[in-house]
Amino acid sequence: MSFGGAVSAMVTSLKNNKRKRVSAFEKLERFQKENDDKLHFKKSASKKELIQIKIRLQKENKIRFIRKSILYFLFFSGLFYIVFVFMNS
């Protein structure tokens, strides 16, 4: 009988299925227990410095938003122009 390969594969599969598996919840619990460390920053900023950083970041984000808006507007304007010129030709 030539079914030795199939039988050995079946036995291996059964052995692999018997092993104890770690559930996702157990992993999460173990991770939370191991990582109870608090964050520690070497540098500190005063309230005034934090406000200045906040204002600077808001200005940078506003400028970035305006630039992106202008680029999108130009791109879609050009796209619409090209589409309508070729559609009406």
Residue 79 lies in a domain: yes
Distance CA 33, CA 62 (A): 42
Classify residue 62: in a domain, yes or no. yes
pLDDT in tens, 14-49: 888 777 777 777 777 776 665 566 767 788 889 999
Q: What is the dihedral of CA 64, 70, 71, 77, to 10 degrees?
A: 160
85 in a structural domain: yes
> Do the domain assignments include residue 26?
no
Whether 13 is covered by a domain: the verdict is: no
Range of the domain at 85: 45-89
Could you give the number of structural domains in the chain? Answer: 1
Q: Do the beta carbons of residue 53 and residue 45 sit within 8 Å? A: yes
How far apart CA 81 and CA 87 sit, in angstroms, is 10
pLDDT tens, residue by residue, 45-69: 899 999 999 999 999 999 999 999 9
In a domain, 9, yes or no: no
